[in-house]
Chains A and B, each alone.
Chain A
Amino acid sequence: MAVSVIDTNSNQLTFRQRWNHYLVIITALLGLFAAANLRDNALYAVTPYINTTAGISALYPRNWLIDTTGDYIFRVQNASRVGFKTTIQVAVQAISSNTTTRNLVDALTLNRSQLLAAYRPLPADNAFTLPDGTQATSVNYTYAAINADPFLDTTPIVVRGVDILSIKRGQAVIITFLADSNSYEEDYRIFERFLNTLEF
């Protein structure tokens, strides 16, 4: 009696199985891509700000709180950040033809030292080039942020800030970035993206 052995190679995938694997991998890759895209959209989504009167436009992070009621053109704050609210502010100041950036730096330093607790200017390279090639001056500093509400118990937060000053068309533009010193480097990337979109 002859015995016929019918053997199937279990390692051998069928055409259908093979393509099923390919499709799973492609779907997974597409999912990863979409997730990364969604993450980027969430992280880097922006809202346009245009002020035709002041001649300033920029893209600032979406869901940051914008305020145009103070003595600045606008100020955006990351209200969702726990602790000190990372802040970007753009202000414009009319100047005379004799005013130099050095004068502006002095005035800013004097003003901040009267307003901010434990204000300390940081030694830094003052030369700064904005993304559009405009030459500017930067001033780095730290201070202690204290909640203004006298009825709450708060611990001061060490804040690191930078003022970027540029004189253009007879006015000084002062761009300020403030962040908790612990997250300064991380948040500075947001500020850089903001600077890339800032036009004045």
Chain B
Amino acid sequence: MKIHTRHLIFYSILLLTILVNSAPVAAQATFIDLDRLERATVYIMQTDNVGTDLLVTCVSSGTIVSRDGLILTNAHSIVPGKTCKGQTLIIAMTSQVGEAPVPQYRAEIAQSDIGIDLALLRITRELDGRLVDTQSLRLPFVELADSSTAKLDETVTVVGYPGIGNDPVTSVRGTITGFVFEPSSIGSGSAWLKSSALIPGTMSGGGVYNQQSQLVAIPTTAPVTSSNGVSTNCLAIQDTNRDKVVNENDYCVPTGVFINAMRPSNFARPLLRGASLGLSLATISTPITASQASGVPTFKRLFFAGSVNPAGMPSSVISSLPAGSNNLYLFFDYENMTPETVYELRVTTDNVPNATFSLSPVRWSGGERGMWYIGSGGQPWPNGVYEFTLFANGVAAPSQKLTIGAAPSTDPVFSDITFGLLDSRGQPQGNGFVLPAGNIATARFIYRNLEDGLNWIAIWYLNGREVKRVENTWNAGASGASVNTSIEVAEGLLPGSYRLELYIKDRLQATSDFIIAGSQQGALPQIFTKLRFTAANSDADAITNTSISNFPQNLNALYALFNWEQIAPGTLWTLRWLVDGVSFYDQTLPWNNAQSGENFLMRLTASAGLPDGTYSVELRVNNVLLQKAQAQVGIGQLPIDRFARASGVQLRGHILNADTRQGISGVTVIIISEQFSVADFTWNQDQIFDLAVTDSDGTFEISRPLEYSTTDKPVEYSAIISANGFLPLTADGVEVNINTPNPLELTIYLNKD
């Protein structure tokens, strides 16, 4: 009877506190779980070993994105480079909200992309150097949002560490005020999100969250570094020269400037997928390495366009925009850029600095040379005279002005250039921006407001060098879309990067780049051929082994090979690997192999053997998909990650001795999976949703959030609290929903046996 009464009390506590099921509930929470977000935010110190001391070389914020200790942050502050030269990464966490972070772990770089400026760290050791069993880690983590669904004026919360070392984790609220587009974001939304939140530079690498507590972006700014590798925004925090004084003579830790650019979380997905599966790709034939330009970074040929086409080319060149325009793209050529180059865009409106349309200093992700754009969309541009100035490593490049709010122009316009090979009827054929090697290439463009008799010029370039100039007299009427201009070389057009510029009255009207590569297969180029997979015990065997598309489980290495034809060194190409349709490797880099060849070899491995899944390889040039192949490993599907979900209710509480009202340490709290009741439970780990053990105060925390129960999908958990010397407590039918407090704090009393 006594036991039944106690069970009843326990049921009452749980049911009254947890069950709030009177009304139908929404499928997704729409409040921010700030407690969890702050716990998942870490402070990262890159340090260098100097004798027996650890010298802090760079600091940043980071966010735990998996239960077993993967941390998403910026690459510039953790990958050793000119500014941040340290080798050891220390992870500090806020164990008590409101207090300074405490160093807990050491971490290693699992994946990084220094141009995109994102990296994933993996916790590998305790602070004292002992190895960490990552399977035993149950760290609070956050889920990534689909950042392409971010909306203008959407409320966001930025979480990070605002100072160097002694400040608690802080959150800042704001709204999304705009979207910045770059060639790196074609097909995936925007390259940067802009926010009204005032974000200190040390919060770089932290998290920007939507109202569902999902990570939508990473606040990012890179410290500007002078030519001698010293950051221009920094703070001395340690007596590194041992003169007993911390002053300007000591090592200066970069802090960066206030952040107004946030890297969308979709850029982190390939890194996260690769890191969580432990995948590692090696290109055997020619190591794919970032360019190491030695010259001074340069920007030139700045011009504006109102829109871009799917290949990232300007539709036309404009000198003014009508009032109420939403989209504007600043195009420019660049040279000698590296992923470590920091660029910045400063915009003034009528000579007044305009932070809304400026871009704070960030890393470069576009390769060594080429044409790039920074576009702004989502919000109307107020009328005025705008001046755009680009900076590379803090040095200003020539600026360009544009008037917005001018009267609609009636000037002659050329626009929307596409390239192809002419068929028998004189119509251009092909994919528009990648042509096969041949004798002739043709461009077609749209025109309006023209007058017959007007002089116009077409200039063709190959790899930046003028190869043909055609001066014409217009005779095609006022408007239309069928004018062709061609370049023809009897001995054949060389493979390479071409450009066409169209001028009227010496003013650039339209321009576009295209690639000539590969042999002719109809109107399409055949650049990459025989893309295939195989398995082998060695790299040498992989070249001779037959191709396979179905592989057994526990494969150690998956090889992919392809042949290539007539692709000029320096031509930008894109290699993308996917597993189950999600990219885990995506790099666009200059081709640095011979012009033609066979058996470009790549080897994919994983630390614990390749997981089952469907693996694909895509080869692209100018965003045009040229080859794709697919292979299955094992059952052809990734294993389900039971711990991938971070949304839900966090259950925590205290277990007290009913007699003494003191916490009981070392008590196990078991939450049984929704498929099982207490009666079904056979004390098998597979049946457990999650478990926790109380600390010295009797405090426990179930690290895996309880899933919301809805009318469409009811979720009922069971619980067992069992401790020798105390009467056990059990409960079935434990539910949480959108109205349940989060985190849910319980106080449970145990009676002596």
Contacts and interface: CB of A to CB of B under 8 A. Distances in A.
B154 interface: no
A82 B135 contact: no
A133 interface: no
B724 A80 contact: yes
A147 B668 CA distance: 12
Nearest to B102: A150
B506 interface: no
B696 A154 contact: yes
Contacts, number: 87
Nearest to B135: A70
Interface stretch (B254-262, B697-705, B733-741): B697-705
A195 B104 CA distance: 39
Interface in A149-183: 149-155
B722 interface: yes
A66 B685 CA distance: 6
B138 A149 contact: yes
Contacts of B664: 82
Contacts of B126: 117
A80 B730 CA distance: 13
Contacts of A149: 138, 692, 695, 701, 703
A81 B696 contact: no
Interface in A69-116: 69-70, 79-85, 114-116
Contacts of A82: 664-667, 723-725
Given A65-B685, A70-B135, A81-B724, A114 B695 contact: no
Contacts of A152: 695, 699-701
A115 B136 CA distance: 12
B684 A85 contact: no
A153 B93 contact: no
A151 B137 CA distance: 12
Contact of B104 (A66, A81, A114, A150): A150
A148 B724 contact: no
B684 A66 contact: yes
Nearest to B686: A69
A5 B586 CA distance: 118
Nearest to B728: A80
A98 B499 CA distance: 67
Given A67-B685, A79-B683, A85-B668, A115 B695 contact: no
A198 B335 CA distance: 71
A189 to B, nearest CB: 16
A114 B686 CA distance: 28
Interface of A is mostly: loop
B95 interface: yes
A62 B684 CA distance: 11
Contact of A151 (B95, B130, B683, B693): B95
Interface centre among A68, A116, A117, A153, by most chain B C-beta atoms within 10 angstroms, is A153
Nearest to A115: B131
B345 to A, nearest CB: 40
B133 interface: yes
Contacts of A148: 133, 136-138
A114 B683 contact: no
Contacts of B722: 63, 79-80
Contacts of B243: none
B659 interface: no
A105 B404 CA distance: 77
Interface residues of A, number: 30
Contact of B131 (A62, A114, A151): A114
B95 A65 contact: no
Contacts of A83: 665-666
B130 A114 contact: yes
Nearest to B92: A150
B128 interface: yes
B725 A69 contact: no
A82 B693 CA distance: 9
B682 to A, nearest CB: 8
B696 A153 contact: yes
Nearest to B128: A117
Contact of A69 (B138, B139, B685, B692): B685
B130 A116 contact: yes
Interface centre among A83, A85, A155, by most chain B C-beta atoms within 10 angstroms, is A83
Interface centre among B665, B683, B684, by most chain A C-beta atoms within 10 angstroms, is B683
Interface centre among B93, B139, B693, B699, by most chain A C-beta atoms within 10 angstroms, is B693
A32 B562 CA distance: 81
B39 interface: yes
A67 B691 CA distance: 13
A147 B695 contact: yes
Contacts of B102: 150
Interface centre among A63, A64, A80, A153, by most chain B C-beta atoms within 10 angstroms, is A80
Interface centre among A66, A84, A114, A149, by most chain B C-beta atoms within 10 angstroms, is A149
Contact of B683 (A65, A117, A147, A155): A65
Contacts of A114: 130-131
Nearest to A81: B724
Interface string B658-698: 00000011111010000000000001111010011101110
Nearest to A154: B695
Interface string B257-296: 0000000000000000000000000000000000000000
A84 B666 contact: yes
A178 to B, nearest CB: 14
Given A153-B696, A154-B695, A66 B683 contact: yes
Interface string B33-59: 000000100000000000000000000
Contacts of B104: 150
B723 A117 contact: no
Contact of A64 (B95, B665, B683, B703): B683
Contacts of A64: 683
Given A147-B693, A151-B39, A152-B699, A79 B130 contact: no
Interface centre among A64, A79, A116, A154, by most chain B C-beta atoms within 10 angstroms, is A79
Contacts of B93: 150-151
A44 to B, nearest CB: 15
Contacts of A81: 666, 723-724
22 contacts: A66-B685, A69-B685, A79-B668, A80-B668, A81-B724, A82-B724, A83-B665, A114-B131, A116-B130, A147-B695, A148-B137, A149-B692, A149-B695, A150-B139, A151-B39, A151-B95, A152-B695, A152-B700, A153-B696, A153-B697, A154-B695, A154-B696
Interface of A: 47, 62-70, 79-85, 114-117, 147-155
Given A79-B722, A149-B692, A149-B701, 5 more contacts: A65-B688, A80-B723, A114-B130, A147-B693, A150-B93
**Minimum-distance CB pairs A-B, first 9:** A152-B695, A67-B685, A83-B666, A80-B722, A79-B668, A82-B666, A154-B695, A114-B131, A150-B104
